[in-house]
Each structure stands twice: as structure tokens, then as C-alpha cells.
């Protein structure tokens, strides 16, 4: 059996990570068969190399190998490209044309970005996989082909199937063996090896000294996320090789070539942030309601006792603390949202001893209550902002909500 090292040297594959070696081992094992293979992985990881390995190690290596980028062919012409067409099949079809499946008979077809195929083309492809049959566009004659299909995609096929963008039966036909290539960020031990290889190649290409990285710069590229994978790493190596006069690259210089370097560290994001804000607001509202309930109970007690006695002086003396509490309660004294009790004494109706000459000595009792949660919330926000001289952070901390939530409330109530 061919060794991994031999394959790496032959196809110029750099790296020794576990994921890469496992993908190569599976490719070597499946190559001698005619089994359909699906290669998955992010864009830029090097999926295009593996179909070539599978073809060169198979009995079809002396036949044609055709690579087709399914995402680059317009939907209206892809059937013609893959399966061919007859003369007059559509406007511009001045002569018959053989498609890739006819040309590659006996060889291998690599369908890159197979997840981009239109659904109508997927039906035709399924028939080829099942029995090797296809029909040219504009023809009724069934033709046979003997090709080995290797496909690749960076699309999440499970999600594509759920969204009815890819046929489930075709997926299982293509993925008899599935080979997944790990992203570059999961191959930290390979990053510097690849970078050195690229820099060496570009040094020879542009007839310039090969660039080198300082130790801190090496650590930087090893922890960088590389969203574009190997393709992005190669581009950075080429830019540095061409643009930098100093051939020893420091971390500070390298940072200028790495986009969003400071945002590549993993961020701990609370999934319950909005839920937390909601719970804090709810607690505030509950507190307001409980305070209002207590105030109303005090009012009821005062009113009942006042109606049951004829001695106003004695009433005031016995309930001095409770009256002061009701009138001086901070939550209601500033804005008069609740004017708890207002007794207007008419001296003409009260004698010297403090007794009313008329039992209805309460001329007016106002109980103007605002039970609106919104009003109470607005008042608490106003008070907190006034207390902290408009400093939102301090006010938010006191209210037990986030500064962002407080800002939203200020905007909602149009507070200045």
C-alpha cells in the first residue's frame, strides 16, 4: 500500500495534522474502487486535490479526468454542459455537442460545488449514478456512460436538504464515502509549515529573498482564525513577499495584513442576555406593584378609621406615623401620581374640642390613583437619572437593568 509520505510528496501536500492524515488515508483506501465519493469542508481547505489523488490511484488513471465547477456554470446551460445537446435543441445550438459525461466515459468526473446544482439537474445526475444513463438536451435517445463521480461542496448538506435545495436521495448516492477536510484553524501545527512553503515558492517566483517570521509573528498566525483557510494563508504569504522590503516579519507588521485580528478571539456571548434584561425589568415592576399594594392597604386603614371616629385630633395623634408615611412616601410624593388623601377641614364645622358638628366633616377625599406600570416605570427612571445627574451607567446599576435597556427606555419615553 502506498504510504502517506509518498502521496504528500507526489501531490505537494503539506501537513501532519490528524484530520488531514485521516482524510488522506480514506482517499487512498477508496481510490481503487468505483465508489462515489463526497468531499466536504470549508472553502479554501484544498478539496480539489483529493479527487486527483483518487483518480491517479485508480484503474481509471489513464482515462480522462474532468473537473467541473457547478457553481460557475449558468443554470440555463449546465444540463447542456454535463449531458450535451442536439442540434436545434435551443436557440444558438447550431450543432450537436457532447457533454462531460460522454467525453469522460471510462474516466473520472469531479463535480466541484455540487451543492449549487439546480434541482432539475440533480434529477438527471441521480439517474447517471443509479444506472449510468443520461439523455442529451433535445434528444429522446438514452445513452450509457461509465464514469466515476467524485463531488465536493462547502455547503452544509443537511441544512440544504431541510430547505429543499438538495435532493436527499442524491446526497446518499454521492456520499457512499464522505471525506471531511478540517479547516486550517484546526491544523495549528501545519500553519507555519504551509506558510514557509508558500514564502519559498514566491521567493523563487519573484526572484526575491524568502521572508521569515519572528517568533511572536509565528504564534500570531497559529492562533489566527483563517476564515479563508489555506487560500487566505497563501495570499498573505504572497502579499508579504512582494510588498515588504524587510524580509524578517515582526508581529506588528504582520497584523497589518490580517483583517479583524482583534476580533478572532473566542467571544463568550450570553445566550440569555435579553432574557436577563427582561427578568430585571419584571422584578422592578413587581416591586412597584407590591409597594402600591402596601400603600393602598395603608390608605384603606386610614380612611376606615377616620370614618369611624369623630375626633380628628385623636385620629391624627394615633396615626401620626402612618399619615407621615403616606404623605412622605418617596415613590408618590414627587409627581402626585397618587394623591393619597386630602382632607379639607372646614373650621365652621369643627368645634373647639375637635369634634365635627356635621358627621360629614370630610369635605373632600381624593383618591386619584395611577395603577399604570408604565407610569411607575417612567417615574423610577426619572428619579434615578436625576439622582445620578443623568449618568446612565450609574442609573442603570441602581435600577438593576443593563445600560442598553435603560437607553432604550429613555428613547421610548422621550426623556432628555
186: which DSSP letter? G
Which range in 187-201, 268-282, 332-346, 400-414 is most confidently predicted, on average pLDDT?
187-201
pLDDT in tens, 163-218: 999 999 999 999 999 999 999 999 999 999 999 999 999 999 999 999 999 999 99
Would you say residue 236 lies in a domain?
Answer: yes
User: CA angle 222-223-226, nearest 5°?
Assistant: 85
Nearest alpha carbon to residue 190 among 407, 19, 399:
19
* 123 and 17 both lie in a single domain: yes
Would you say residue 23 lies in a domain?
Answer: yes
pLDDT at residue 344 is higher than 70:
no
Mean pLDDT for the chain overall: 81
pLDDT at residue 301 is higher than 60:
yes
* 306 and 282 both lie in a single domain: yes
Residue with more model confidence, 35 or 385:
35
Would you say residue 153 lies in a domain?
Answer: yes
What is the b/e burial string over 102-133, where b = at least 16 CB atoms within 10 angstroms of the residue's CB? bebbebbbbbbbbbbbbeebbebbbebbeeee
Average pLDDT score over residue span 63-81? 91
* 126 and 253 both lie in a single domain: no
Report which secondary-structure segment, H or E, holds 307.
helix 273-308
Would you say residue 22 lies in a domain?
Answer: yes
How many Å is the Cα radius of gyration of the chain? 40
Residue with more model confidence, 320 or 46:
46
* 309 and 388 both lie in a single domain: yes
Burial (CB < 10 A; 0-12, 13-18, 19+), residue 324, is exposed
Would you say residue 363 lies in a domain?
Answer: yes
Last residue of one domain, picked from the residues 220, 242, 263: 263
* 356 SS3 class: strand
Last residue of one domain, picked from the residues 263, 296, 321: 263
* 257 and 298 both lie in a single domain: no
* 27 and 173 both lie in a single domain: yes
* 230 and 166 both lie in a single domain: no
- Predicted TM-score (pTM) of the model is 0.61
pLDDT at residue 45 is higher than 70:
yes
* 83 and 144 both lie in a single domain: yes
- What CA–CA distances, in Å, run from 59 to 83, 149, 166, 284, 329? 24, 14, 31, 75, 92
Using DSSP bridges, classify how beta strands 97-98 and 108-112 pair: parallel, antiparallel or unpaired.
unpaired
Give the domain extent around 70.
4-182
pLDDT at residue 265 is higher than 60:
no
Q: Are 219 and 191 in contact (CB under 8 A)?
A: no
What's the pLDDT at 389?
A: 84
Distance CA 105, CA 39 (A): 22
Nearest alpha carbon to residue 48 among 229, 169, 198:
229
The number of folded domains in the chain is 3
Sign of CA dihedral 214, 220, 222, 228: negative
Tell me the sheet residues that pair with 85: 97, 137
For helices 18-30 and 4-11, what crossing angle results, to 10°? 90
Read off φ and ψ for residue 111, nearest 5 degrees. -95, 95
Domain of 228: which CATH number? 1.10.8.60
What's the pLDDT at 414?
A: 81
What's the pLDDT at 312?
A: 61
Residue whose entry in the numeric block shows the C-alpha cell 373632600: 364
Average pLDDT score over residue span 217-230? 93
Report which secondary-structure segment, H or E, holds 284.
helix 273-308
What's the pLDDT at 403?
A: 82
Residue whose entry in the numeric block shows the C-alpha cell 438514452: 142
pLDDT at residue 415 is higher than 50:
yes
Would you say residue 268 lies in a domain?
Answer: no
Residue with more model confidence, 322 or 366:
322
Edge-to-edge strand ranges of the sheet holding 37-40: 65-69, 108-112, 148-153, 37-40, 177-180
pLDDT at residue 27 is higher than 90:
yes
Q: Are 222 and 188 in contact (CB under 8 A)?
A: yes
For helices 229-243 and 188-205, what crossing angle results, to 10°? 40
Nearest alpha carbon to residue 114 among 146, 143, 155, 86:
155
Would you say residue 96 lies in a domain?
Answer: yes
* 178 and 196 both lie in a single domain: no
Distance CA 219, CA 215 (A): 6
Sign of CA dihedral 277, 280, 281, 282: positive
Q: Are 231 and 223 in contact (CB under 8 A)?
A: no
Would you say residue 405 lies in a domain?
Answer: yes
pLDDT in tens, 305-340: 666 665 566 666 666 666 665 555 444 444 444 443
Instruction: Point out the least confidently predicted range of 91-100, 142-151, 305-314.
Output: 305-314
Last residue of one domain, picked from the residues 219, 243, 263: 263
* 39 and 161 both lie in a single domain: yes
* 208 and 348 both lie in a single domain: no
* 285 and 389 both lie in a single domain: yes
Distance CA 131, CA 126 (A): 9
* 111 SS3 class: strand
227: which DSSP letter? T
Give the CA count within 13 Å in the CB-facing half-sphere of 314.
Answer: 11
Nearest alpha carbon to residue 291 among 346, 238, 242, 330:
330
Q: H helices within 31-71, ranges in order?
A: 49-56
Amino acid at each position: 500500500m502506498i504510504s502517506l509520505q509518498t502521496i504528500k510528496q507526489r501531490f505537494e501536500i503539506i501537513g501532519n495534522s490528524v484530520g488531514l492524515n485521516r482524510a488522506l488515508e480514506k482517499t487512498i483506501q477508496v481510490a481503487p474502487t468505483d465508489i462515489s465519493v463526497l468531499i466536504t469542508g470549508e472553502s479554501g481547505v484544498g478539496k480539489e486535490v483529493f479527487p486527483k489523488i483518487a483518480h491517479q490511484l485508480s484503474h481509471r488513471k489513464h482515462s480522462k479526468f474532468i473537473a467541473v465547477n457547478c457553481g460557475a456554470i449558468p443554470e440555463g446551460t449546465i444540463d447542456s454542459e454535463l449531458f450535451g445537446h442536439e442540434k436545434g435543441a435551443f436557440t444558438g445550438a447550431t450543432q450537436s455537442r457532447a457533454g462531460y459525461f460522454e467525453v469522460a466515459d471510462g474516466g473520472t468526473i469531479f463535480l466541484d460545488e455540487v451543492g449549487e446544482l439546480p434541482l432539475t439537474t440533480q434529477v438527471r445526475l441521480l439517474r447517471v449514478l443509479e444506472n449510468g444513463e443520461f439523455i442529451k438536451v433535445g434528444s429522446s435517445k438514452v445513452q450509457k456512460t461509465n464514469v466515476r463521480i467524485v463531488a465536493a461542496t462547502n455547503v452544509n448538506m443537511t441544512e440544504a436538504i431541510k430547505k429543499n435545495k438538495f435532493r436527499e436521495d442524491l446526497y446518499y448516492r454521492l456520499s457512499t464515502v464522505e471525506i471531511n477536510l478540517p479547516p486550517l484553524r484546526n491544523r495549528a501545527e501545519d500553519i507555519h509549515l504551509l506558510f514557509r512553503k508558500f514564502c519559498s515558492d514566491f521567493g523563487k517566483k519573484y526572484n526575491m529573498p524568502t521572508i521569515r517570521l519572528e517568533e511572536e509573528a509565528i504564534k500570531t498566525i497559529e492562533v489566527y482564525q483563517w476564515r479563508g483557510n489555506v487560500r487566505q494563508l497563501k495570499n498573505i504569504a504572497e502579499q508579504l513577499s512582494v510588498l515588504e522590503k524587510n524580509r524578517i516579519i515582526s508581529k506588528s507588521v504582520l497584523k497589518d495584513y490580517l483583517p479583524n485580528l482583534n476580533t478572532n478571539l473566542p467571544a463568550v456571548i450570553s445566550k440569555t442576555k435579553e432574557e436577563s434584561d427582561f427578568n430585571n425589568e419584571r422584578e422592578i415592576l413587581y416591586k412597584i406593584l407590591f409597594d402600591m399594594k402596601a400603600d393602598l392597604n395603608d390608605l384603606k386603614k386610614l380612611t376606615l378609621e377616620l370614618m369611624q371616629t369623630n375626633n380628628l385630633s385623636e385620629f391624627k395623634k394615633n396615626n401620626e406615623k402612618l399619615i407621615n408615611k403616606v404623605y412622605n412616601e418617596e415613590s408618590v410624593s414627587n409627581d402626585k401620581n397618587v394623591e393619597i388623601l386630602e382632607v379639607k377641614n372646614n373650621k365652621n364645622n369643627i368645634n373647639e374640642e375637635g369634634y365635627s358638628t356635621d358627621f360629614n366633616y370630610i369635605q373632600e377625599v381624593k383618591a386619584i390613583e395611577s395603577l399604570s406600570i408604565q407610569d411607575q416605570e417612567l417615574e423610577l427612571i426619572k428619579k434615578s437619572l436625576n439622582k445620578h445627574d443623568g449618568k446612565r451607567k450609574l442609573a442603570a446599576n441602581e435600577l438593576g437593568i443593563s445600560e442598553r435597556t435603560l437607553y432604550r427606555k429613555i428613547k421610548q419615553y422621550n426623556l432628555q
